[in-house]
Amino acid sequence: MVLSNFKGVVMFENIIIFLVFIAIFSVVIAIIFAFIAWSLATVYNFLSLFDRPYKEPKHKEPIYEEPEQKPLNTKL
């Protein structure tokens, strides 16, 4: 009677250890996939710079108008 109850407790502890192992393994796999996705996105972003030749901007003037400079009043 005691032995059968002991087997049940050991089995229950093994299931908990197994579930914890699966949870830790899942987190590690998710971190590895996230790193792979980040590295591929970084490489793709870098390689996209070479997709087309650089074109000069159409408007060489600044988009905003600079305010007129008023002469400073130097009278003291």
Return per-residue pLDDT of the chain as tens, 76 residues: 445 555 656 677 888 899 999 999 999 999 999 999 999 999 988 888 787 776 776 766 666 676 777 777 666 5
Collapsed DSSP state (helix, strand, coil) of residue 3: helix
Q: Is residue 21 part of a domain?
A: yes
Sign of CA dihedral 23, 24, 26, 31: positive
Token pair belonging to 69: 């400079």
Secondary structure element (H or E) that encloses residue 57, with its range: none
Residues spanned by the domain of 16: 2-50
Q: Is residue 42 part of a domain?
A: yes
What is the reported pTM? Answer: 0.51
CA pair distance 58, 4, nearest whole angstrom: 84
Please tell me the predicted confidence (pLDDT) of residue 25. Answer: 98
Please tell me the predicted confidence (pLDDT) of residue 2. Answer: 47
Q: Is residue 10 part of a domain?
A: yes
Q: Is residue 19 part of a domain?
A: yes
Q: Is residue 32 part of a domain?
A: yes
- Number of domains into which the chain is organized: 1
Q: Is residue 23 part of a domain?
A: yes
